Amino acid sequence: MTDKQRALLALEDGTLFWGTSCGAPGETTGEAVFNTSLCGYQEVFTDPSYAGQIVTMTMPHIGNYGVNAADMESRGVFAAGFVVRELSSMASNWRAEETLREFFERHAVVAIEGVDTRRLTRHIREQGAMRAVLSTEDLDPESLVAKAKASLGLVGRDLVTEVAVSERYVWGEEMPPECELPVDTGVLSATPRYRVVAYDSGVKYNILRRLSEQGCEVIVVPPTTSAAEAMELRPDGVFLANGPGDPSAVDYLYTTLRELLGKVPVFGICLGHQMLSLALGAETYKLKYGHRGGNQPVKNLVTGRVEITSQNHGFCVDFASVGPLIPELSGGLTLDPADLGAWVRAGVAPVVRSDRFGAVQLTHVNLNDMTVEGVRPLEIPAFSVQYHPEAAPGPHDARYLFGAFTRLMDGREDIFGEG
């Protein structure tokens, strides 16, 4: 233990966590969050949505099966840093190509091990996600706490431009620049049935794999692509990806989206869901400590089924802020549209009215805290979910949503296979 490099994680409220370095030397700043997935650390580390965050894994053993190229979810590591209880010094898996420590060193990721991650998690749970600094260089607590206090938080911050591609590419044909090869593209359709324009706001590769698998040719475009440029590509559908930061700061994207809505079917995931909601006129807010893990129960109010979902978000949509309830489309009930638990108990998907786009249905609700997990405008072809149907990591229960997107592009109403 003693010959290892010490490291210190300091939170803005002065709480300190000592440990040892298990990655590259250095110092990093970000919002301290936790993820409860039991496996899939590599997918977490390479998910661009974690940009600006120092991620704690609650699973105490991390790195056991090493790292491999096929499980990359993007071209690199975007999270600010990592906190683990114990990093495996070896990798045991037939697909392992290097150890996680080697990977961290190669990608210059600052990471700390030996931390009471449960204490950190409980602290975040009680006090909320907060700014933090992780350092192997400056081990002076006062100095680090001061740096944490001085650092930028996530609220109001657009991180999308930092993670998105700047050039358009076609998934499976050209690959994004700077990515590690070979990239696992998944099953590519020889004769794609749909052309999808995917706005990259930090898209995970597995979303692109899933879209391809559904017979989509996927053209990934930078987030600043205008509606006209997108429409020039003659897409059958537009996809809005996941991504980091505060959704309300990504105003250029949802403004573009407003132009697209009604002209082309739209599917959004995570940040994409927030973009759709913002475009519909909803407001977003920051959750106390977010949802990050692979075990979140979500009820599809349209089908009545519960999905175990993969999640990673710190911001959330306020459904009631879209507009007033339309009781006649909400099973005749006049429950409070802000009380999602009441609608779950009633087994009814409420519909509210958006000024711009008409009726909007609440399709999915998180059963843990009764927050919004999915919406669907009923008068234009679009829908979105807050969670990650592409999983990676996490359960595959929500894969049907990629099929729902193709149904939407086919012009069908029963996109969830309901009825």
Partner 1 sequence: MPRRDDINKILLIGSGPIIIGQACEFDYSGAQACKVLREDGFEVVLVNSNPATIMTDPEFADRTYVEPVTPEFVEKVIIAERPDALLPTLGGQTGLNVAVALAESGVLEKYGVELIGATLDVIKKGEDRKLFAEAMERIGLDTPASGYAYSIADAEGLVAEIGYPTVIRPSFTMGGAGGGIAYNVEELREIVASGLALSPVGEVLIEESIIGWKEYEMEVMRDRNDNAVIVCSIENFDAMGVHTGDSITVAPAQTLTDREYQIMRDASLAIMREIGVETGGSNVQFGVNPRDGRLVIIEMNPRVSRSSALASKATGFPIAKFAAKLAVGYTLDEIPNDITRMTPACFEPSIDYTVVKVPRWAFEKFPGTDTTLTTRMKSVGEAMAIGRTFKEALSKAMRSLENGRGGLGADGKDEFDEDHFDQMLAVPNEQRPFYIAEAFRRGCDAEEIHSLTHVDPWFLDQVREMIDAEKAVAATGLVQMSAEDMRAAKRMGLSDIQIAHLTGSTEAEVRALRLNLGVKATFKSVDTCAAEFAASTPYYYKTYEDEDEVAPSSRPKAMILGAGPNRIGQGIEFDYCCVHAAYALSDMGFETIMVNCNPETVSTDYDTSDRLYFEPLTFEDVMDIVEAEKPDGVLVTFGGQTPLKLANALEQAGVPILGTKPEAIDLAEDRRRFSDLLDRLGIAYPAAGTANTMDEAVEVASRIGYPLLVRPSYVLGGRGMVIAYSEEYMRRYVEKAAALSPDHPVLLDRFLEGAIEVDVDAVCDGETVYIGGVMEHIEEAGIHSGDSACCVPPFSLGVQTIGQIKDHARALAMALGVEGLMNVQFAVKDERVYVIEVNPRASRTVPYVSKATGVPLAKVAARVMGGQKLAEMGLPDENRDLGRFCVKEAVMPFGRFPGTDSTLGPEMKSTGEVMGVAADFPAAYAKSQLAIDYSLPGEGTAFVSVCERDKRSVVSIARHLNLLGFRIMSTKGTARLLRASGIPVEEVAKVHEGRPNIVDAIKNGEVQLVINTPFGRETRSDGYHIRTAAVQHGVTNITTLAAAQAVVQAIEAMKAGRLGVIALQDFGGTL
Active-site positions read 270, 388, 390
Among 5, 14, 93, 338, binds partner 1 (CB under 8 A): 93
User: Residue 208 in contact with residue 171, Cβ under 8 Å?
Assistant: yes
Does residue 1 bind partner 1 (CB under 8 A)?
yes
Does residue 294 bind partner 1 (CB under 8 A)?
yes
Count CB neighbours of 359 within 10 A.
18
Among 5, 25, 125, 413, binds partner 1 (CB under 8 A): 125
Does residue 288 bind partner 1 (CB under 8 A)?
no
Maximum C-alpha span of the chain: 69
Q: Cβ 65 to partner 1, closest distance in Å?
A: 5
Among 14, 25, 108, 122, binds partner 1 (CB under 8 A): 122
Among 20, 28, 29, 37, binds partner 1 (CB under 8 A): 37
User: Residue 361 in contact with residue 280, Cβ under 8 Å?
Assistant: no
Among 55, 59, 79, 266, binds partner 1 (CB under 8 A): 59
Q: Which stretch binds partner 1 (CB under 8 A): 45-53, 86-94, 208-216, 221-229?
A: 86-94
DSSP strand pairing (266-269 vs 237-240): parallel
Q: Which stretch binds partner 1 (CB under 8 A): 133-141, 241-249, 301-309, 410-418?
A: 301-309
Of residues 61 and 286, the one with the C-beta less far from partner 1: 61
354: β partners? 358
SS percent in the chain: helix, strand, coil, step 5? 25, 30, 45
* Helical (H) or strand (E) element with 294: strand 283-300
Does residue 342 bind partner 1 (CB under 8 A)?
no
Count CB neighbours of 365 within 10 A.
25
Does residue 394 bind partner 1 (CB under 8 A)?
yes
Does residue 38 bind partner 1 (CB under 8 A)?
yes
Q: How is residue 233 written in tokens?
A: 């590509």
| Long-range contacts of 104-108, Cβ-Cβ distance < 8 Å, separation of 24 or more | 104/22, 104/23, 104/24, 105/23, 105/24, 107/24, 107/76, 107/77, 108/24, 108/26
Residues near partner 1 (CB under 8 A): 1-2, 17, 34, 36-40, 42-43, 58-61, 64-65, 68, 70-71, 85-86, 88-90, 92-95, 116-119, 121-122, 125, 293-297, 299, 304-306, 308, 367-369, 391-396
